[in-house]
Chains A and B, each alone.
Chain A
Amino acid sequence: MKNFSVTPTAKTLAIGFSLLALVMVACTSADEPDPTATSPAPAATQAPAPTATPEPPTGGDTPLAPTETPVVVEEPTKAPDPTVAPVATTAPTAIPDDPFVILKSIIAEEALPNNYTEVAPGDGELLERLFPDAPPYAPHKVSDIRITTKSNKCVTCHEGGFSAGGSVATGIPLSHYTDQYTLDVSNDLDPRRYMCTSCHVPQVTDPLPWAE
């Protein structure tokens, strides 16, 4: 695993298992009676008070349901204080077999600046899509494009593949002119697809700090 550099050693497993043994003991002593364990008909005295106030422990006699899978516990070598023992075993010198995991969030690794492309429409290079069926990105600046009921500059250029300065805008696909139910193809863009920016988004120019 990329984020987990080293696997636990036998030593930590032993520590783990000793903790587990402690856990099991605590679990047994502190459990509550199972309200579903026997017949649903309750004796009034058995029914817990319907209140949110704290209740004292009542010391149930069946800590684990019969369906519980028995936990296989190896013989613990010792039972160290769980709050300090693991720390104590990670001396800086022990890095080669450091049994511990440091969680690395890939999104926190490195800041990615908000440097969207300033390339004008018509000058952008096509970007590879997220996957073949995904909508293509806008490889040019879109921040000053407003889509209103009266004007849609995206459509103005991309309808039919507008040609400007030697480059051709990616044409709006046939699917965007096809009625979903009748399959009739219209000369007008499917009005549900009018908000181009719901799907076609720009990308920042810096690469991601992690492999895609």
Chain B
Amino acid sequence: MEQVTRRNFIKFSSAAVVATASTGLLSNVTRGDVAEEGVEEIEGLEWNKIPCRFCGTGCSTLVGTKDGKIESVKGDPESPVNRGLLCVKGYGLLKIQNGSDRLTDPLILATSKSDPEPKYRKASWSEALNLVAEKMAAAKAEHGPSSVAMFGSGQWTIWEGYAASKLWKGGIQSNSIEPNARHCMASAVAGFATTFGMDEPMGCYDDFEHANAFVLWGSNMAEMHPMLWARITQRRLVETSTKIINMTVASNRTGEMADQEIIFEPQSDLAIANGIANQIILRGNVNHEFLNKHAVFKKGKLDIGYGLEDNFKFAEEASAVTFEEYAEFVSEYTPEVVQEISGITPQELSDLTDVYADPNVKVMSLWTMGVNQHTRGTWMNNLIYNIHLLVGKISTPGNSPFSLTGQPSACGTAREVGTFTHRLPADLVVANPEHRKFAEEIWNIPEGTIPAAPSYHAVEMVRAIDRGEVKFFWSQVSNPFQDFANLNRYVDAVKREDCFVVASDVYPTKTTELADVILPTAMWSEKEGAFGNSERRTHFWKQLTHAPGQAKSDLWQLIEVAKRLGLGNLFDYSASEYPLNEGQLHSDASVEAGFYMEKALWEEYRKFGLGHAHDLAPFELYHQTRGLRWPVVDGEETKWRYNEEYDPYVPEGEGFRFYGNDAKTDGKAIIWLRAYEPPPEVPDIEYPMWLMTGRVLEHWHSGTMTKRVPSLWKAYPHATANIHPRDAIKMDVEHGEKIRVTSRRGSCEVTVDIGGRVKPPQGMVYVPWFDEDVMINNVTLDAYCPISKQTDYKKCAVKIEKLS
């Protein structure tokens, strides 16, 4: 065993830590050395902070550059989020921009979209953008503004999403703008909006170090939020009385570290949550003092449908009810009924109730796609809040119902900027005339410019392509033709060529395959950016490298198209107010404009939230910190909202106030009566198995970036179908053999994995969707939650055939 050397220690530690390390400390170390022979440190790097490009955790990384090229990536020790650690994807960031098939020139389709090998010709930016602008103008003129659609994501930087929203709603006068966050977080948003009147979690990541119990509802955090899982792991190992319960429909890696894994039938989480509430009431653990002051009860519509029909509409009808009526409603969810619906035992229900009901246990509920991608996703979000409200375990350190986001800026961009058809920045909505007027004033555009009616949410948007209503569709920072459910219908629709498709991307994808124009796009370190993570933390980075070839940022593309539409004034700010900084590498958008475009957009954007509980700090502060959690009032971030002790928006003496509901319920949260209702499609004789889809640790979304990283691709080359060993015997398939998974909508071929990381129960197959060679979304069902309009990617009925 080699003696540890200072050089080796530096290699595995962060620069900032090393700067203060003492050699005396090191000389005492007897632990084994770490370095492999021949692994040399890279000399002469310049280190800068930049948030990770992948999940909603919001880890900060330190990126080491030399001669304009990224040579190293490390966890940022100064980040309160990840504290110097990174997961395997984070290290893979080094290679995401360097794939040899990087798009570097604007391309215009020269053949038909149905051509098996479509051909393109290189174009100048002027030609490509003129064509894009012409098609937008023509579609608007002939078919109305709603026929002009933009599809973005929670991977837009904040100012990109803001610019897109301003251009669409305030310029083109179209509300046809949606992010793929609709597939990811819409149920969380609708849950927050219906219960608290205001989006995003009240707590923060500091809760991890305060909680004594963690209940995961449909969230495989060990793979999907690994650096937050590291904090839960730490808490569990240090405070050994801490309990982790993994609620899931298939055993997974998170379950390995859990103290208890509870497997339930798909969709039955609704019954379990109501069952817990019932037990809390029966045990006498309701915190009536908290409830009387801070909550009201409401009943909404039942039997609300599944959004399977085109032009599906839903309107809630809510009425006030009493606590007694609520108690009677949940009393139907006895342990026996819950067991019948969900398969969990009365003992398991009792164990779950224990962590919520015991006044001495601080409990965090954590959830992601299992709860959100659910045809009753909004209801399930409501039901988790119900439990926390009943016992008053909310908005205090460690007591935290916490909705985790999937994308790096699902919160910062999609939700806070409001790049949805019905929204405006800072929780404002287009349907409210006051909100529209407020936005029109900030944007300095005539009153009445912003259309009042939402047009298409994401699923309706692609259905409208199929119906011939959407004639122009522009995708940025997303890959819609790999990620929509029931893809066959929508791919066929696009191939009919009456909708002009523009794809801004970094690599060839399933979406660029269907594009009339492909715009090569700058990404991550090639532009200045801002993301907002799961805990309301807004964090910034500066541009560090140049984009290859002709690639330009999404922001630059949006502004250049705006100019061609005669809407350049939307992005014309004062060069004297927002001068460029000498010595700073400014983005293409700023260089083109001759002023600091990102700063100008930010300072305008933050006017939306100032003074009404969405306060964001001045631009420069974010470049100086590792991010701040909004509302940022007088330079101070807010850790726990709605709690007087931490939140300046709670009036003195009230203790708690859910002020998002000030107008509706005088600042009280709403406990909703939400029932168990079955999913729209269940296994039957013809299609006897459940299909569940999801992600894997090593890949991000559709794999566009991570499959270009050698270490990640070789760690998980292809999507597999995980099935139970008994199902494998029944179907006479072995590990590694190929099967065909077929639903009523389509099929795909995939290799069987038995005993992999995800271990479904009998009767279920799990297929991740990152792999463009395994197009599982040809199989999935495009049913959605009627309230949030979020697709349920977790449940549909399939059959499996062995391929000989």
A101 touches B137 (CB 8 A): no
A27 touches B4 (CB 8 A): no
Q: Which of A92-133 contact B (CB under 8 A)?
A: 99-108, 111-114, 126, 129-133
Complexed CA–CA distance, A92 and B126 (Å) = 30
- Closest-by-CB residue of B relative to A53 is B144
A171 touches B32 (CB 8 A): yes
Complexed CA–CA distance, A27 and B124 (Å) = 17
A134 touches B33 (CB 8 A): no
B772 touches A132 (CB 8 A): no
B134 touches A100 (CB 8 A): no
- Indicate whether A191 reaches chain B with its CB closer than 8 angstroms: yes
A183 touches B21 (CB 8 A): yes
Q: Which of B48-90 contact A (CB under 8 A)?
A: 64, 71-74, 77, 83-88
Instruction: Report the minimum CB–CB distance from B713 to chain A (whole Å).
Output: 7
Q: Which of B557-584 contact A (CB under 8 A)?
A: 563-570, 572
Chain B 654-690 interface 0/1 with A at a Cβ cutoff of 8 Å (1 = within): 0000000000000000000000000000000000000
Question: Which residue of the partner chain, among A27, A56, A132, A212, contacts B134 with CB atoms under 8 Å?
Answer: A27
- Indicate whether B646 reaches chain A with its CB closer than 8 angstroms: no
Q: Which residues of the other chain, B, contact A63 by a CB distance below 8 angstroms?
A: 566
Question: Which residue of the partner chain, among B31, B121, B222, B238, contacts A99 with CB atoms under 8 Å?
Answer: B121
B230 touches A193 (CB 8 A): yes
Instruction: Report the minimum CB–CB distance from B19 to chain A (whole Å).
Output: 11
Instruction: Report the minimum CB–CB distance from A135 to chain B (whole Å).
Output: 6
Q: Which residues of the other chain, A, contact B454 by a CB distance below 8 angstroms?
A: 52
Complexed CA–CA distance, A44 and B111 (Å) = 46
Q: Which residues of the other chain, B, contact A211 by a CB distance below 8 angstroms?
A: 100
Q: Which residues of the other chain, B, contact A104 by a CB distance below 8 angstroms?
A: 101, 508
Complexed CA–CA distance, A40 and B445 (Å) = 5
B32 touches A161 (CB 8 A): yes
Q: Which of B81-117 contact A (CB under 8 A)?
A: 83-88, 91-92, 94-95, 99-101, 104-105, 107-108, 110-111, 117
Question: Which residue of the partner chain, among A40, A56, A148, A210, contacts B257 with CB atoms under 8 Å?
Answer: A148
A195 touches B9 (CB 8 A): no
Complexed CA–CA distance, A192 and B95 (Å) = 25
- Closest-by-CB residue of B relative to A22 is B134
- Indicate whether B388 reaches chain A with its CB closer than 8 angstroms: no
Instruction: Report the minimum CB–CB distance from B116 to chain A (whole Å).
Output: 11
Q: Chain A interface: which of B10-18, B187-195, B533-541? A: B10-18
A86 touches B121 (CB 8 A): yes
A30 touches B137 (CB 8 A): yes
Chain A 181-206 interface 0/1 with B at a Cβ cutoff of 8 Å (1 = within): 00101000011111101111111100
- Closest-by-CB residue of A relative to B90 is A199
- Indicate whether A160 reaches chain B with its CB closer than 8 angstroms: yes
Q: Which residues of the other chain, A, contact B720 by a CB distance below 8 angstroms?
A: 114
Q: Which of A135-192 contact B (CB under 8 A)?
A: 135-137, 143-144, 146-149, 160-161, 168, 170-178, 180, 183, 185, 190-192
Complexed CA–CA distance, A15 and B707 (Å) = 36
Q: Which residues of the other chain, A, contact B131 by a CB distance below 8 angstroms?
A: 19-20, 23
Q: Which residues of the other chain, A, contact B120 by a CB distance below 8 angstroms?
A: 100-103
A106 touches B711 (CB 8 A): no
B233 touches A192 (CB 8 A): yes
- Closest-by-CB residue of A relative to B755 is A143
- Indicate whether B724 reaches chain A with its CB closer than 8 angstroms: no
Q: Which of B441-491 contact A (CB under 8 A)?
A: 444-455
Q: Considering residues A33, A36, A48, A66, which has the most beta carbons from chain B within 10 angstroms of its beta carbon? A: A36
Q: Which residues of the other chain, B, contact A17 by a CB distance below 8 angstroms?
A: 127
Q: Which residues of the other chain, A, contact B4 by a CB distance below 8 angstroms?
A: 174
B566 touches A31 (CB 8 A): yes
Known A-B contacts A3-B101, A133-B73, A192-B231; A87 and B111 likewise in contact (beta carbons under 8 Å):
yes
A147 touches B72 (CB 8 A): no
Complexed CA–CA distance, A101 and B172 (Å) = 32
Known A-B contacts A32-B137, A49-B448; A195 and B714 likewise in contact (beta carbons under 8 Å):
no
Question: Which residue of the partner chain, among B11, B94, B146, B507, contacts A54 with CB atoms under 8 Å?
Answer: B146
Chain B 33-57 interface 0/1 with A at a Cβ cutoff of 8 Å (1 = within): 1111001111000000000000000
A212 touches B36 (CB 8 A): no
Q: Considering residues B170, B449, B564, B773, which has the most beta carbons from chain A within 10 angstroms of its beta carbon? A: B564
Q: Which residues of the other chain, A, contact B143 by a CB distance below 8 angstroms?
A: 54
Instruction: Report the minimum CB–CB distance from B714 to chain A (whole Å).
Output: 4
- Closest-by-CB residue of B relative to A170 is B36
- Indicate whether B281 reaches chain A with its CB closer than 8 angstroms: no
Known A-B contacts A52-B453, A105-B101, A199-B91; A175 and B34 likewise in contact (beta carbons under 8 Å):
yes
Complexed CA–CA distance, A104 and B257 (Å) = 42
B444 touches A34 (CB 8 A): no
Q: Considering residues B84, B133, B447, which has the most beta carbons from chain A within 10 angstroms of its beta carbon? A: B133
- Indicate whether B259 reaches chain A with its CB closer than 8 angstroms: yes
- Closest-by-CB residue of B relative to A135 is B91
Q: Which of A36-69 contact B (CB under 8 A)?
A: 36-37, 40-42, 44, 46-57, 60, 62-69
Instruction: Report the minimum CB–CB distance from A84 to chain B (whole Å).
Output: 10
Q: Which of B115-172 contact A (CB under 8 A)?
A: 117-124, 126-127, 130-131, 133-134, 137-138, 140-147, 170-172
Instruction: Report the minimum CB–CB distance from B491 to chain A (whole Å).
Output: 16
A113 touches B717 (CB 8 A): yes
Chain A 1-33 interface 0/1 with B at a Cβ cutoff of 8 Å (1 = within): 111100110001001110110011011001111
Known A-B contacts A12-B121, A27-B130, A107-B708; A175 and B101 likewise in contact (beta carbons under 8 Å):
no
- Closest-by-CB residue of B relative to A147 is B256
- Indicate whether B756 reaches chain A with its CB closer than 8 angstroms: yes
Q: Which of A74-95 contact B (CB under 8 A)?
A: 86-87, 90
Q: Which residues of the other chain, B, contact A160 by a CB distance below 8 angstroms?
A: 1, 31-32
A35 touches B717 (CB 8 A): no
Q: Which residues of the other chain, A, contact B347 by a CB distance below 8 angstroms?
A: none
Q: Which residues of the other chain, A, contact B563 by a CB distance below 8 angstroms?
A: 64-65, 67-69
Q: Which residues of the other chain, A, contact B138 by a CB distance below 8 angstroms?
A: 26, 30
- Indicate whether B376 reaches chain A with its CB closer than 8 angstroms: no
Question: Which residue of the partner chain, among B11, B87, B122, B450, contacts A4 with CB atoms under 8 Å?
Answer: B122
A204 touches B717 (CB 8 A): yes
Complexed CA–CA distance, A8 and B108 (Å) = 12
Complexed CA–CA distance, A174 and B134 (Å) = 60
Q: Which residues of the other chain, B, contact A24 by a CB distance below 8 angstroms?
A: 130, 134
Question: Which residue of the partner chain, among A44, A53, A177, contacts B31 with CB atoms under 8 Å?
Answer: A177
Instruction: Report the minimum CB–CB distance from A118 to chain B (whole Å).
Output: 12
- Indicate whether B226 reaches chain A with its CB closer than 8 angstroms: yes
Top 5 nearest A-B pairs by Cβ distance? A54-B144, A173-B34, A171-B32, A42-B446, A47-B448
Residue pairs across A and B with Cβ atoms less than 8 A apart, 12 shown, are A8-B121, A20-B127, A57-B141, A87-B110, A105-B507, A106-B101, A107-B703, A113-B717, A143-B756, A171-B34, A192-B230, A199-B88
Which A residues contact B (CB, under 8 angstroms)? 1-4, 7-8, 12, 15-17, 19-20, 23-24, 26-27, 30-37, 40-42, 44, 46-57, 60, 62-69, 71-72, 86-87, 90, 99-108, 111-114, 126, 129-137, 143-144, 146-149, 160-161, 168, 170-178, 180, 183, 185, 190-195, 197-204, 208, 210-212
Given contacts A15-B121, A16-B127, 18 further A-B contacts (CB under 8 A): A1-B104, A4-B122, A7-B122, A23-B127, A23-B134, A32-B140, A32-B141, A35-B449, A42-B446, A101-B107, A114-B753, A131-B72, A134-B73, A137-B711, A147-B256, A178-B17, A183-B17, A201-B698
Which B residues contact A (CB, under 8 angstroms)? 1, 4, 8-9, 11-14, 17, 20-22, 25, 28-29, 31-36, 39-42, 64, 71-74, 77, 83-88, 91-92, 94-95, 99-101, 104-105, 107-108, 110-111, 117-124, 126-127, 130-131, 133-134, 137-138, 140-147, 170-175, 222, 226-227, 229-231, 233-234, 236-238, 253, 256-257, 259, 436, 444-455, 507-509, 512-513, 518, 549, 563-570, 572, 697-698, 703, 707-711, 713-718, 720, 736, 751, 753, 755-756, 772-773
